[in-house]
């Protein structure tokens, strides 16, 4: 009987030792797997992050390289005193980038009959204004709206900015009666709704349409 108890005790001890060994081996295996997984994940993450960082760096570098090469987001505001003096007293001072050079030339060539009015400009004044407008016309800039204007024209040289296909398309949802409101007057009065038009910015969140 004592021999039997001794054998049972021996087997119990052996079984417990084996279980402990398996548990230890399993724990070691889990730790090793965990370490390998973390190491692999860390490498993959660093590699991925490095690629993303490189891509961001490349995009930033391209952006910096494009600066100073004529690329810009908005149209350039008017910065010519003579043009401002002669034209702003009668209507909104249109930015040169809103029309192609061909349109500006046609407008100035017809200054004696400028939509029913004689501008009575001296030749020197006309040519000085022409130089400014043609030199800063839509095709001379990479401003987004100027590019879209040129694409929409398809070779046309409209005399009115309100006849530019792109500009018409951008206003197609506005009822014609809105432009007849006293504070607006006409479709050609850009500054009535585009609060930053004089700065060359025609973004939607700067638009305020008068109610009267």
Of 146, 111, 114, 145, the closest CA to residue 128 belongs to: 111
Triad 121, 114, 127: Cα angle to 5°: 35
Tokens of 73: 């987001």
Grade residue 120 by pLDDT with cuts at 50, 70 and 90: confident
- Which tens digit of pLDDT belongs to each residue from 75-111? 999 999 999 998 888 889 999 999 999 999 999 998 8
- Which tens digit of pLDDT belongs to each residue from 31-59? 555 556 555 555 555 555 554 555 665 55
8 Å CB contact between 101 and 139? yes
Cα separation values, 28 from 20, 42, 51, 52, Å: 12, 21, 34, 35
Ranges of H-type helices in 67-171: 81-87, 101-109, 123-135, 144-153, 165-170
Q: Which residues contact 30 (CB under 8 A, 6 or more apart)?
A: none
- Which tens digit of pLDDT belongs to each residue from 170-181? 999 999 999 999
What is the model's pTM?
Answer: 0.65
CA 59 – CA 64 distance, rounded (Å): 9
User: What pLDDT, on a 0 to 100 scale, did the predictor assign at position 48?
Assistant: 53
CA 186 – CA 184 distance, rounded (Å): 6
Of 189, 183, 158, the closest CA to residue 92 belongs to: 189
């Amino acid at each position: 009987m004592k021999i039997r108890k001794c054998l049972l005790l021996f087997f119990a001890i052996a079984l417990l030792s084996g279980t402990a060994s398996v548990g230890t081996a399993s724990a070691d295996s889990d730790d090793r797997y965990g370490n390998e997984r973390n190491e692999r994940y860390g490498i993959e993450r660093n590699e991925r992050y490095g690629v993303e960082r490189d891509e961001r760096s490349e995009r930033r570098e391209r952006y910096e390289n494009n600066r100073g090469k004529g690329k810009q987001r908005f149209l350039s505001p008017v910065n010519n005193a003579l043009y401002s003096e002669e034209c702003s007293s009668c209507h909104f001072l249109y930015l040169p980038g809103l029309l192609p050079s061909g349109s500006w030339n046609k407008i100035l060539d017809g200054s004696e009959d400028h939509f029913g009015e004689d501008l009575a400009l001296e030749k020197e004044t006309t040519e000085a204004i022409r130089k400014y407008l043609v030199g800063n016309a839509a095709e001379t800039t990479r401003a987004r709206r100027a590019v879209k204007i040129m694409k929409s024209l398809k070779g046309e040289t409209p005399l009115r900015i309100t006849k530019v296909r792109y500009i018409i398309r951008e206003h197609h949802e506005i009822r014609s009666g809105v432009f007849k409101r006293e504070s607006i007057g006409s479709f050609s009065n850009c500054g009535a709704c585009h609060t930053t038009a004089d700065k060359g910015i025609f973004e939607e969140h700067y638009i305020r349409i008068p109610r009267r």
